[in-house]
Amino acid sequence: MVTTTTPAAKAPARRAAQAPAARPAKAPRRGRRSPLSSAALHLTLIAASVIAVFPVLWVLLTSLKPAKFAATTDFFKDTTFENYTNLLNDTPFLTWFGNSLLVAALTTVLGVFVSSTTGYAVSRFRFPGKRGLMWTLLITQMFPVAVLIVPIYNIMASMGLLNSPAGLVITYLTIAVPFCAWMMKGFFDTIPREIDESGYVDGLTPFGTFWRLILPLAKPGIAVTAFYSFITAWSEVAYASAFMVGDENLTLAGGLQKFVNQYGAQWGPMSAASVLIAIPAALVFLFAQRHLVTGMSAGAVKG
Amino acid sequence: MAVDTSSQSVAKAAGEDVARGRSRGTGNRQGAVKRSLSTHWYAWAMVAPVVIVIGVIIGYPLVRGIWLSLTDANERNVERSIGVNHIPATYEFVGVDNYVDALTGNQFLSTLGWTLVWTVSCVSVTFALGLGLANLLNRRIAGRSVYRMLLILPWAVPGFVSVFAWRFLYNEDNGLLNKILAGGGIDAVPWLNDPTWAKFSVIAVNVWLGVPFMMVALLGGLQSIPGELYEAAEMDGAGALQRFRHITLPGLRSVSTTVILLSTIWTFNMFPVIFLLTRGGPGEATQILVTQAYKFSFEISPRDYAQSSTWGVLILILLMVFAAVYRRVLRKQGEVW
């Protein structure tokens, strides 16, 4: 159903895009459009918004229904928080949540900490090896999970780090470090060089300039980078599924798979867990999205 | 052969700053080393943490992975500990046998074929929809920011949560989609249990996940095109389609080439959608290269580490070749523009 409406939504979109300009002679001024094309525009956007929001909304509604009605199409049926209380009391959800939080937070802090000076150096200095380093940062971001997963798994196994948050954090740093360095280079590029020069004039070393002048100015950029790497670690699936076993050690991505396996699906706790994971993340994301877009265009898109 | 070159280039790149500084110094006078060190000391110290981290946790595993792909390593012959007993590795070097097997066998090529179909259809549909929506949102309309917020939502929800939501909707017996179809008197569709429908379903979910990013990036690009260009074109009597072709598309060129490159790489490697939605099933119908490589090392018994590494290296080579060709094509076009 969703997929049939998607191409259908596209057609009126095109038409609406052309309609106002198709009759410039009749329309008095640019920027005005006929009521008909205006309606088409709104209808298209409403249809697209419904498709975008509905799956998420449906899970939210399901989580508020008694588990036995989970698979019914009634929108509101005996609204209850039963699924949530069951989830929190009878499943290891909070443990998984804690594991995810710990791993993602450590990855973020370490990733940002390690790569901030590199972002600055690559943004400001010319030095032998810079090109090679930048290429490495770019290429490592292309690494498919399949290239590193087996060797890292074997290394972790021989070091006894499988099934431990530390092992997962180290693994996630392979994703976070190149990404953070690249993003932060983009943010440092937007800070005028005159500030560095004023620092040198005042007798600061490059480290001093970075630490006292540039880092405070780059705080918003660092926040965005940190947020991105947090989200990446928070929603990583492949490494988490392969490295962590046993109910106690799973992260959320692995834990949710427990509810939906090949033997059947517990949609009740699954939907409640999804809401508890998605709503905070979505709120923060929507709140921060303007900065995210700026960050993206500074870091990734321009690169 | 190709494997060696790629490993070298990456390994060299990782350690390049050190290597180059040294070699230049020893070639010339002693003073050059000192001068170079004193000039670049700060820069090198600042990049050192990342170079070390990349070398240790990416470079070393990468080299090991390439080595494993040249052996017959599997779960039974790698180094391992059972209780207190430590069993040393007994796997052997087999040369490029794994690569020959993969490239002459049926499985790699058929999986590659579907991976290409998957990537091309996901990226093109996502781009078309993203461009369409970005154009609509770039107009002055009531409630624009509300629409924008709603349309971004799929991007804001963690990917694995969305994928589980879709599994819920796609469920053959109890899923909402089939309930709606039943209301219209249409038979249940085996969304994830029939090879053709499953392919269609995974693409639909990936498009749903990818459109918001595309839309936001392209909207940013659209807003950076000066409005005067459109006014001037309109004065000259250019129609909407002409304006779209000659102003919008060229104006979006730098943004769209980047997002197409990025989303091609992401989609090619898109693990969670396939893994969580179908596990590559039914049969191997929706298995892409990445999920199949994962399956070799973590889902079958005995775990076939050598095969998995081989597929991993091949994926990396494919992506690097793609990125290089893409860049070259763009550069050539750039001269024309």
Cβ of B168 within 8 Å of Cβ of A59? The answer is yes
Question: For residue A264, what are the β-bridge partners?
Answer: A261
Q: Check pLDDT > 50 for residue A218.
A: yes
* 3-state helix/strand/coil string of chain A: CHHHHHHHHHHHHHHHHHHHHHCCCCCCCCCCCCHHHHHHHHHHHHHHHHHHHHHHHHHHHHHCCCHHHCCCCCCCCCCCCHHHHHHHHHCCHHHHHHHHHHHHHHHHHHHHHHHHHHHHHHHHCCCCCHHHHHHHHHHHCCCCHHHHHHHHHHHHHHHCCCCCHHHHHHHHHHHHHHHHHHHHHHHHHCCCHHHHHHHHHCCCCHHHHHHHHHHHHCHHHHHHHHHHHHHHHHCCCHHHHHHCCCCCCCCHHHHHHHHEECCEECHHHHHHHHHHHHHHHHHHHHHHHHHHHHHHHHHHHCC
pLDDT digits (tens, 9 = 90+) for A36-84: 888 888 999 999 999 999 999 888 888 888 876 666 666 666 778 888 8
**Contact: A177, B133; criterion CB under 8 Å:** no
Q: Which of B112, B124, B155 is nearest to B268 (CA)?
A: B112
Q: Are residues B56 and B143 in the same domain?
A: no
- pLDDT of residue B21 exceeding 60, the answer is no
pLDDT for the residue A70: 64
Please indicate, yes or no, whether the overall pTM of this predicted structure exceeds 0.90: no
A256 touches chain B (CB under 8 A): yes
Question: CB-based contact (8 Å) between A39 and chain B?
Answer: no
Spatial distance between the Cα atoms of A235 and B161, rounded to a whole number of angstroms: 9
Q: Is residue B287 located within the same domain as residue B142?
A: yes
A274: closest CA of chain B, how far (Å): 6
B227 with B128, same domain? yes
pLDDT score at A20: 44
Q: Is the pLDDT of residue B207 over 90?
A: yes
Length of chain A as a residue count = 303
Pick among A33, A126, A147 to test the B interface (most B CBs inside 10 A): A147
Which residue range forms the structural domain that includes residue B20?
A: 2-87
Residue-level pLDDT at A135: 87
Lowest mean per-residue pLDDT among A14-28, A138-152, B50-64, B299-313: A14-28
A57 close contact with B: CB closer than 8 A: no
Domain with residue B205: its CATH number is 1.10.3720.10
Is residue B328 in some structural domain? no
Q: Which residues of B touch A245 (CB under 8 A)?
A: none
In a domain, B321, yes or no: no
> Given its phi and psi angles, is residue A251 left (phi above 0), alpha (psi -120 to 50 degrees) or beta?
beta
The pLDDT value given to residue B109 = 93
* Residue B336 covered by a domain: no
- Average pLDDT over chain A reads 80
Same domain? B199 vs B263: yes
Q: Which of residues 78-107 of A touch B (CB under 8 A)?
A: none
Residues B234 and B188 both lie in one domain: yes
Residue pair B245/B158 in contact (Cβ under 8 Å)? The answer is: no
- Which of B153, B206, B254, B275 is best to mutate for the A interface (most A CBs within 10 A)? B153
In chain B, the number of structural domains is 2
User: Are B83 and B222 in a shared domain?
Assistant: no
Residue A150 and residue B309 in contact, taking contact as beta carbons nearer than 8 Å: yes
Asked which of A100-109, A286-295, B37-46, B176-185 is least confident by mean pLDDT, the reply is: A286-295
Q: What is the pLDDT of residues B271-322, one digit of tens each?
A: 999 999 998 878 889 999 999 999 998 888 888 899 999 999 999 999 999 9
Are B144 and B215 spatial neighbours (Cβ–Cβ below 8 Å)?
A: no
Q: What is the pLDDT of residue B202?
A: 95
> Does B110 lie in the same domain as B82?
no
- Name the 3-class secondary structure at B238: coil
Report pLDDT for B293. 93
- First CA to last CA across chain B, in angstroms? 37
How far apart, in Å, are the Cα atoms of B175 and each of A99, B60, B132, B191, B245? 31, 46, 30, 10, 42
Average pLDDT over residues B55-69: 92
- Same structural domain, B197 and B66: no
Distance CA A242, CA B297 (A): 9
User: Residue B75 falls within a domain, yes or no?
Assistant: yes
Q: What was the pLDDT predicted at A296?
A: 55
Whether A47 has its CB under 8 Å from any CB of chain B: the answer is: no
Least trusted range by pLDDT, from B27-31, B237-241, B261-265: B27-31
Secondary structure letter of residue B139 according to DSSP: S
Q: What is the pLDDT of residue B2?
A: 37
Task: Specify whether B63 is located in the same domain as B11.
Answer: yes
Cα B155 from Cα A278, distance rounded (Å):
11
B313 assigned to some structural domain: no
Structure-token pair, residue B321: 């070749």
* Dihedral angle sign, alpha carbons of residues B55, B57, B60, B63: negative
Chain B hits for A265, Cβ within 8 Å: 167-168, 171
The answer for A 175-214 residues in CB contact with B (under 8 A) is: 177-178, 181, 205-207, 210
Q: What is the pLDDT of residues B132-170, one digit of tens each?
A: 999 999 888 888 888 988 998 898 889 899 998 898 888
CATH number of A83-301: 1.10.3720.10
State whether B82 and B111 are in the same domain. no
Nearest chain A residue to B179 by CA distance is: A73
Q: Could you tell me if B73 and B127 lie in one domain?
A: no
At B10, the amino acid letter reads: V
Residue B309 lies in a domain: no
Q: Domain map of chain A by residue range?
A: 38-80, 83-301
Which residue of B3, B28, B44, B54 is the best one to mutate when testing the A interface, meaning the one whose CB has the most A CBs within 10 A?
Answer: B54
